[in-house]
Structure 1
Amino acid sequence: MQITFLGTSSGVPTRSRNVSSVALRLPQRAEVWLFDCGEGTQHQFLRSDLKVSQLCRIFITHMHGDHIFGLMGLLASCGLAGSPTRIDIYGPPGLDEYLRASGRYSQTHFSYPIKVHTVQPGVLYEDDEFVVSCGPLKHRITSFGYRVVEKDRVGRFDVEKAKALGIPSGPLYGKLKRGETVTLPDGRKINGAELCGPTEAGRKIAYCTDTIFCEGAVELAQEADVVIHEATFAHQDAELAYQRLHSTSTMAAQVALAAQAKRLIMTHFSPRYAPGNAIQLSDLQDEARAIFPNTEMAYDFFTYEVPRRQATELISTS
């Protein structure tokens, strides 16, 4: 699981930061999932190592322009660059109507199927490897945060050990790899778990923006390996944060701390903290680290590989 930030500014783009968009790359599936799609996101794709042809799911937090104005352009480009099999889009009420109206007035017709899912709190997608859920945040309009949970999987199968036990290769190996118990032709029963390494614990990612500090964000971020959280304002500008229902750096840190998360990556920064101003982004980082030390500041094209850990390691550190 690899996270790439395609836009880390709030409201408007700057020379070095585009507006909100975060990509989750799943190499084992050759898939890219996108969270929010601000204006210019398709250009950010071109400047990154991501392949737009692998895009298959898009999750929208809310209907403000800096999170959705790039959506129609990106979808149109996907069709021209080589039609994907299908793109599923998840978001709040009004998203489907917005896309239909945009397509109607611009005469845009997609050469591949698109399915828009209006989300409600709870699980909105699940397959053999992942569960994606969403929950309400606290913003000026309806806003949702997302949580991606990778399911635990059996550890690495020891082929050499299986051969030493005289287990014939073939369908039996598949069952043993899944940790099942099989009966060999000679009557021996083999427990697949004994031929596999330690269980690999599934990773957890939370994406929370736009929102002021709220329990909904804490719930989404529970014991996450990575929490991606907006930090529009410095602590000194908390009054602005309350007025506009955005988070400060300290609020983001408090969410990660309360959720017992492993790492916090802050994004969605106000352009007011540009170099040369009285308060700069390094100050926001210092504020957050004073509460939650394992904090990083995202920047455009910053990529983070989410580490995998054994289930026993998670138990010992929780």
Structure 2
Amino acid sequence: MNFLSPAEIAAACSKAGTGKSKLAFGPMFALGILAGVYIGFGANLATVVGATWPPELGGLSQFFFGAVFSVGLMLVVIGGAELFTGNNMFLPISCLNGEATWGGLLYNWVVVFIANFVGSLLLVYIVFMGLYYVGATDTAGNVTALSATGTKAVAIAKGKLSLDWSQAFFRGIGCNWLVCMAVWLAMASKDVVSKIFSCFFPIMAFVTSGFEHCVANMYFIPMGISVAQSAPGAVAQQFAMTPEAVTGLFTYSGFIMNNLIPVTLGNIVGGGVFVAGFYYFAYLRPAKKQKVSASGKAAQA
């Protein structure tokens, strides 16, 4: 059979979580930076593609946005990197199965989360300096209009920063339930093409649905903040806001408090409870009980 059964996937994920919990700091941080960059590549591609599709297309435009975004997880899964949201599934299932420690989980999550953020901001800087995303300027060099891609970057960040706390949290749950299912299905696959398709469909589904991914937002929102802070007047004009409203909305403190924290907590619940927890209780917990029962009977004999 060219793929793993669900029970075999659960065992493989538990074993993978053990390895992740024991990675040395240097490799873990380096791989975390790569994951932040890879997800950022997908986010940037989606921004560029989304800028060319008229909003009248509605869900179809969002579908193509999600379809191209999926390249980010393909790079993570096939290329190899440490992604916080995927580790929200790997580490809990390994801890529940007794193959990793909760201290190892916390160590991995903290290091990888910070490294993902570093990688995302690195790509924001590279892309902003290389491409972004101003249009017309006046004789003094002030930006008077944004390009289509710059406008899309600001629109994405504005939508995310305008969510209330509970919206961001519950969208985070839905997102990482699907992201971790993409990783779960990729673990079942034994060839690269199957891994690509395993990543594509759940990621396309979460983005098209409008869910929230904390690592993707480490790129989307800082990029929108960078564009808005570089051209507050142009943003105010194009989005019917006052310059004061622009500078008040597009801030890192607002990003962290109103989006990153609730989305991260939702992602943890989506991956740790609804994927790791459910599959542990469905497949690994019964297997452990069966082993304990068998060893008890052997001892009595």
TM range (shorter): under 0.3
Which structure shows the bigger proportion of residues in helix conformation?
Answer: 2
- TM, length-normalised to structure 1: 0.24
- The TM-score normalised by the length of structure 2 is 0.25
Structure having the higher strand fraction is: 1
